[in-house]
Amino acid sequence: MPRVRKDRNSRVRVEPFWKIGLYIRLSKEDDNEDESESVVNQEKILRDFVDEYFEPGTFVIVDVFVDDGLTGTDKLRPSFRRLECCIERKEVNCMIIKSLARGFRNLSDQQKFLEEFIPTHGARFINLSSPFIDTYTNPRSASGLEVPIRGMFNEQFAAQTSEEIRKTFKMKRERGEFIGAFAPYGYAGVIIGLN
């Protein structure tokens, strides 16, 4: 389905047909962030972008890959890994993400993905937020100075969040408070009404 166009010199030019994979991630810690970070809103933002950025007939959205409740530091996120496999098999040739933080919380993983994985598989990568990256229209956009700086901030944020969670759990343990997902069988919690 690639579109055929003639350029100014009457040469035939075949435009690529984009098989798009939208990637969305929401971690447990994102519950307190603004509403735009929800899975539903991230998908709406990405779909609106595709409709405005791409000409009709030049793309298809193959799938929406969602890792809900997972950290960006996890290398084995199921949907991210599935998206990578789709890129390797050429089922997807364009990945779009709302921000680098949604895909990566580790600078070395981010750089390896952008500078090795994407070019090796001839895929296109688009990041909507700052810095805007489109490796097809501007191949050097993924290697600009702001990209690793943003990656360092994202990595630091993940480390800081992890440290804050550990501090909270430590404080709760010291107070004798329960820190698991649910109270064990038979545990009544706070008993109300005892004098």
pLDDT tens-digit map of 159-182: 454 455 555 556 666 777 766 666
The residue ranking higher by pLDDT, 18 or 37, is 18
pLDDT in tens, 138-157: 887 767 655 555 654 456 55
Which two three-digit tokens encode residue 26?
Answer: 């929401």
Residue 170 in 3-state DSSP? helix
Q: Which letter does DSSP use for residue 117 in this model?
A: I
The residue ranking higher by pLDDT, 195 or 87, is 87
**Strand 94-97 to strand 124-127: parallel, antiparallel, or no bridges (unpaired)?**
parallel
Looking at residue 146, its pLDDT comes to 58
Looking at residue 188, its pLDDT comes to 54
Instruction: Give dist(CA 38, CA 69) in Å, integer.
Output: 11
The residue ranking higher by pLDDT, 131 or 8, is 131
Q: Report the alpha-carbon angle 89-102-154, nearest 5.
A: 125
Domain ranges of the chain: 3-150
Instruction: Give dist(CA 141, CA 127) in Å, integer.
Output: 10
Query: Side by side, which strands form the sheet with 18-26?
Result: 59-68, 18-26, 94-97, 124-127, 133-134
In which band, very low, low, confident or very high, does the pLDDT at 35 lie, cut at 50, 70 and 90? very low
Q: Which letter does DSSP use for residue 149 in this model?
A: H
Instruction: Give dist(CA 192, CA 109) in Å, integer.
Output: 50
Class of domain 3-150: alpha beta
Residue 124 dihedral angles phi and psi, to the nearest 5°: -110, 140
Q: What's the maximum distance between 2 C-alpha atoms anywhere in the chain?
A: 92
pLDDT in tens, 74-128: 778 899 999 999 999 999 999 999 988 888 877 768 788 888 999 999 999 999 9
pLDDT in tens, 39-77: 899 999 999 999 999 999 999 999 999 998 877 667 788
Is the entire prediction scored with pTM above 0.85? Answer: no
The residue ranking higher by pLDDT, 179 or 133, is 133
Looking at residue 36, its pLDDT comes to 46
